[in-house]
Amino acid sequence: MPGKDRDEESGEYTTSYADSDFLAAISKLDGMAGTSEIAQEVGCTRRTAYTRLSSIEEKGDVRSRQVGNSLVWIVADNLE
């Protein structure tokens, strides 16, 4: 399964994408990007990107903004 590692003991999948992968993707995409663009840059599904970005947003490292029908993600450091 791409982007996931399987724990040999439990058999559960764990993510192999670090938060820094998503932050780097946003930075590479001019500091602001949509979920699909970030997913493509990281190499994961759009759903995985959305879930991880939402989690990162809860930590305060990114912010999202609704633009039309899309969410645009911005690295929190870029807002200052």
Mean pLDDT of 35-41: 96
| Alpha-helical regions (H) of the chain | 19-28, 35-42, 46-59
Q: What rounded mean pLDDT belongs to the chain?
A: 86
- The reply to whether the predicted model has a pTM over 0.75 is yes
CB 64 within 8 A of CB 32: no
Structure tokens at 33: 């990007």
User: What is residue 78's predicted lDDT score, i.e. its pLDDT?
Assistant: 59
CATH architecture of the domain formed by 4-79: Orthogonal Bundle (1.10)
Tens of pLDDT along 40-56? Answer: 999 999 999 999 999 99
